[in-house]
Structure 1
Amino acid sequence: MNDHPEPSTLRVFVALAPPDDAKDELARALRPAYETFPGLRWNRIEDWHITLAFLGELPATAVPPLRAALAAPAASRPALHLRLRGGGHFDERLLWSGIDGDLEGLHALAADVREAVDSCGITFRDRPLRPHLTLARSRRDDATSVPLAAAGLTGFEGRRWPTERLHLVGSNIGRGPGPIRYRDIEAWRFGSAVPSGGEGAPTAR
């Protein structure tokens, strides 16, 4: 008997994930902020991601068509070379690290991803892409911690790294108390297209 049945809806987004060593570099740069601002709601390092399209709450039945549609943009594109660089904040509430490198390619990939989502008949808020990696959020009565933590990242510049996979991710946000948790629904390697007539399967992380 399944004590945890699959939900009828999922909160879904499409993203890239930095490799572990790039995340470790940024985590080391954040150590002073972790100690100085323990009241911030820090994202888990393993959940750090760069969102390309946020689709919101979707019925579970919408996921299979997405899997088929999103395999193509990953398979047809080579890896991008990116780096984590500096820091900033949105509205003094959300702390982020910036993204540098092949930004033209990143915007083109995001456009392909959003076109693939649209082809599935899924309506979502198609906001302009502002590449970033969310690190932490402040509490409502704290308007200073996030800007100060962002200032501490001004000189940070991580190494360049190639993107490995495009990720379709689900989260449990809004499903009870506790921190947000993310899980890959599926992930696809970049540049994994096969010759016409062949068969290829997306590679999950």
Structure 2
Amino acid sequence: MNDDPEPSTLRVFVALAPPDEAKDELARALQPAYARYPRLRWNRIEDWHITLAFLGELPATAVPLLRSVLAGQAASHPALHLGLRGGGHFDERLLWSGIDGDLDGLHLLAADVRDLVGSCGIEFNNRPLRPHLTLARARRDDPTSVPQAAAGLSGFVGRPWHAERLHLVGSNIGRGSGPIRYRDIEAWRFGTGIRADEDGAPA
């Protein structure tokens, strides 16, 4: 039995998650990098996600309101056809894989999500969306591993997949210099409120 009190604040973001098959495919492509760059802080595969809006530290009382508006957004939005492609880095410190597919739809979804969050009176850093899947972070004294690992991913092209759910995620910072861990607060399937015509396509 867990007697720990519920936290009064949560670090929260809204995201998409690739299916297990897509993550496994990328993980296989990363095997040489895992062996070659052991000093990188590799994210756990189960934590891979595509952030649509990072909301930061919020009072726990904001979560029910977010659940309500995000559930409605997911119900009215079709699943996105996406893929993972190539690799890159930010500031030689953060390694990522790129996102391929319906990028216009992805940007539109992110804009809608951010508008909904703002309508709830929640202030957050509304920086421009740069779709990516974070894979690893470098230590401060290691300026070369991330760019080299990104170059090794340049030819990777994953099979396409559908993003089926919108995720509201909470993050927990590990003790000391420990890793960040993520957990779904809730996830909603896309398109449950979209009426289909007789051929099964959205009306």
Alpha-carbon distance between aligned partners in 1 of 2:6 and 2:111, rounded to the nearest angstrom: 30
1:114-125 map, 5 Å: 114-125=114-125
- Partner residue of 1:36? 36
**Partners of 1:94 and 1:138 within 8 A in 2:** yes
- Partner residue of 2:81? 81
User: Which residue identity does 1:55 align to in structure 2?
Assistant: L
1:49-88 map, 5 Å: 49-88=49-88
**2:74 maps to 1:108:** no
C-alpha deviations, 1:111-148, integer Å up to 9, x for none? 11001101110000001000000000000110000000
C-alpha deviations, 1:5-43, integer Å up to 9, x for none? 111100000000000000001000000000000000000
Give SS of 1:191's match: coil
Alpha-carbon distance between aligned partners in 2 of 1:51 and 1:157, rounded to the nearest angstrom: 20
In the alignment of these two chains, the number of paired residues is: 195
* % identity of equivalent residues: 82
| TM-score (structure 2 length as normaliser) | 0.93
**Partners of 2:42 and 2:137 within 8 A in 1:** yes
Distance 1:4 1:177, change over 3 A: farther
- Partner residue of 2:3? 3
Give SS of 2:25's match: helix
Give SS of 1:181's match: strand
- Partner residue of 2:172? 172
- Partner residue of 1:199? none
**Partners of 2:166 and 2:189 within 8 A in 1:** yes
Alpha-carbon distance between aligned partners in 2 of 1:123 and 1:88, rounded to the nearest angstrom: 29
**2:20 maps to 1:23:** no
**Partners of 2:169 and 2:184 within 8 A in 1:** yes
Alpha-carbon distance between aligned partners in 1 of 2:153 and 2:70, rounded to the nearest angstrom: 34
C-alpha deviations, 1:46-75, integer Å up to 9, x for none? 000000000000010111100001112111
Q: CA deviation at 1:175?
A: 5.7
Alpha-carbon distance between aligned partners in 2 of 1:124 and 1:173, rounded to the nearest angstrom: 19
**Partners of 1:13 and 1:52 within 8 A in 2:** yes
Alpha-carbon distance between aligned partners in 2 of 1:176 and 1:55, rounded to the nearest angstrom: 23
**Partners of 1:48 and 1:135 within 8 A in 2:** yes
User: Which residue identity does 1:70 align to in structure 2?
Assistant: L
**Partners of 2:7 and 2:60 within 8 A in 1:** yes
- Partner residue of 1:158? 158
Alpha-carbon distance between aligned partners in 1 of 2:157 and 2:174, rounded to the nearest angstrom: 34
Give SS of 2:141's match: coil
C-alpha deviations, 1:156-176, integer Å up to 9, x for none? 000000111000000002665
Alpha-carbon distance between aligned partners in 1 of 2:51 and 2:174, rounded to the nearest angstrom: 19
